[in-house]
Structure 1
């Protein structure tokens, strides 16, 4: 089968190969034929080393597909099922899973660094899948918890978006912040996940949503999916005064993954408000907030990993919102491409002008 392979961290180019094979399906695994997969900023972070991953690596973690084989102990799925790939599968047995935080389960994260399910070349070199997935391949093998059944009426493209961008962003608003009806929201960063935060805030009933992004080309789309106002970072002080009288927003979402934008989110949030970090940043990018401010401004600094989702419930729920017209997923797709176009897609994402490019498998 075909797959895109990154041979070394920091490489600019992927090798698109057609001689890739898969490890056998284990008793608790499923094999999925990928139908659609997104090109997400986290894939760039994996390629650059910001998000550590083993190499050789098949990138890709946001995907949807059809189950083609299940292990002998798998009872929840069968061939023909439409599934969304869950890049953070939960063991459903540890204290975190049983305590309601399955998105923090580390079992399969750790396994992903030691177990590579791809093989290529004459010597059958092992390649790993990003986050244990590797959806930039025509087929993948994942634990059964990494494939969540979804309504077959949902398009492959929409299902793929639910697998990461939508769940991360909408979940940050609904699950982490629990945005209240009538509240005010600022969202810093209007890529695919930032637009999903905006949609989550809209669905929650926020009366005012400020979108902040240096690229004015993204402002119109931000308004289309729910933002009431949009500015560049330079326009934030004026917007803060005009929209909140200088007091700040109830919620400030950071969806970039940089210490500077985390501090910006802190600054635009009112006393007693919630600052939610959604962007995936680097381990050596340190955030500086004074101990005085942390206490006396009464703000809550929250992290939102994968939208704090329990994907067993949230994937199907977001699919229902999409089918009901509450989530606009079509507007977030900037291009539909083929697997052979991935290098061009990576360059386009680096340039910052595109939102979600979706690979449709031939």
Structure 2
């Protein structure tokens, strides 16, 4: 038996922290991973509230890292004892999206998140994993494509962030937007992923990086990660005028997950510039734009799912950037907590007091 945080009904604000949950035995193409560290992300809250779909009872969590404990007979490339990052969007390698080089769009394993329970509660009650994963548990069973080997010198709490927050943010800048050196960038939302977008823009060589967040307490941290300027919504137009002579920014990233934030991003993007949608919004939160503006302003709206990452390629790159001192992972971690603190961590995330909290199981 192992510990796991279980959501019994969509809308619950408290998770059931149990010690009688087991991951199913791995099949021939699956691996079982003992989770060592897992992040607390806004997407976890969105699953609890129903903004993101789930099938309760479900183990929450999707950002994690650990050690391979068991492997199936047909598993290539990883073995017991390997340190791995959890990839919550495993790529099948054979679908049209994978063959086009877009593994982050692969749907090959997504259906299993809603049809294939990966856990047992109390030995006999089936439970699903959030996004087919469920990293707020001491052990998970995944397709082998759902684990990415990582060097053993990378601390587990750093490796966990390489599974979602960092690729989603840094990848949005370097993969989706392909930020050009010397460009002007704005980032709407300075939470954990927004700070990673800021880092990505800095790494890509942006000359101006404006962090936009109504919470001024986040502004110094944004500058720590590479923002050259900060603004609230109230002084955003003034900042746009000062930094771009009123023309707007080359790339504007929406990292909130709200249609209103996309509208804000559109409004400060230059003619012909790019609006990159990073935040995970609700299915009924519709964004509207006139057909006239969409054509004649020449702006491009781009989705950045999982930062356009191929984790097999990008995790080693992120590790190299970290080793070179160009990617700050430790600074993203507000608190290292225990499993027993998870409900407190959920409340802290609701209140906006933290960037990234990481659960350490050992």
TM-score, length-scaled by structure 2: 0.99
Question: Residue 312 of structure 1: CA displacement?
Answer: 0.6
Question: Residue 121 of structure 1: CA displacement?
Answer: 2.5
1:166-195 CA deviation, whole Å, 9 max, x = no partner?
000000000000000000000000111000
SS at match of 1:18: strand
Decide whether the 8 Å contact of 1:34 with 1:63 is kept in 2. Answer: yes
Structure-2 separation of matches of 1:352 and 1:131: 24
Question: Residue 320 of structure 1: CA displacement?
Answer: 1.1
2:183 alignment partner in structure 1: 183
Structure-1 separation of matches of 2:47 and 2:319: 27
Q: How does 1:1-362 map to 2 (within 5 A)?
A: 1-121=2-122, 124-362=124-362
Structure-2 separation of matches of 1:13 and 1:324: 40
Structure-2 separation of matches of 1:204 and 1:29: 36
Structure-2 separation of matches of 1:216 and 1:360: 30
Question: Residue 21 of structure 1: CA displacement?
Answer: 1.3
Decide whether the 8 Å contact of 1:154 with 1:323 is kept in 2. Answer: no
Structure-2 separation of matches of 1:23 and 1:158: 27
Decide whether the 8 Å contact of 1:272 with 1:297 is kept in 2. Answer: yes
Structure-2 separation of matches of 1:109 and 1:58: 16
Question: Residue 361 of structure 1: CA displacement?
Answer: 0.5
Decide whether the 8 Å contact of 2:25 with 2:32 is kept in 1. Answer: no
SS at match of 1:108: coil
SS at match of 1:113: helix
Question: Residue 100 of structure 1: CA displacement?
Answer: 0.6
SS at match of 2:48: helix
Structure-2 separation of matches of 1:130 and 1:315: 22
Structure-2 separation of matches of 1:292 and 1:87: 38
Structure-1 separation of matches of 2:261 and 2:180: 23
SS at match of 2:93: coil
Structure-2 separation of matches of 1:328 and 1:101: 27
Question: Residue 231 of structure 1: CA displacement?
Answer: 1.2
Question: Residue 40 of structure 1: CA displacement?
Answer: 0.2
1:30-75 CA deviation, whole Å, 9 max, x = no partner?
0101011000000000000000111101010000000011000012
RMSD: 0.7
Decide whether the 8 Å contact of 1:188 with 1:256 is kept in 2. Answer: yes
Consecutive unaligned residues of structure 1, counting only runs of 5 or more, are none
Structure-2 separation of matches of 1:353 and 1:295: 40
Question: Residue 242 of structure 1: CA displacement?
Answer: 0.8
1:80-135 CA deviation, whole Å, 9 max, x = no partner?
1010000000111111101111101112111111001110126x111111111100
Structure-2 separation of matches of 1:37 and 1:67: 15
SS at match of 2:51: coil
Structure-2 separation of matches of 1:24 and 1:79: 14
Decide whether the 8 Å contact of 2:23 with 2:141 is kept in 1. Answer: yes
Structure-1 separation of matches of 2:10 and 2:315: 31
SS at match of 1:33: strand
Consecutive unaligned residues of structure 2, counting only runs of 5 or more, are none
Structure-2 separation of matches of 1:22 and 1:88: 19
| Runs of 4+ off more than 3 Å | none
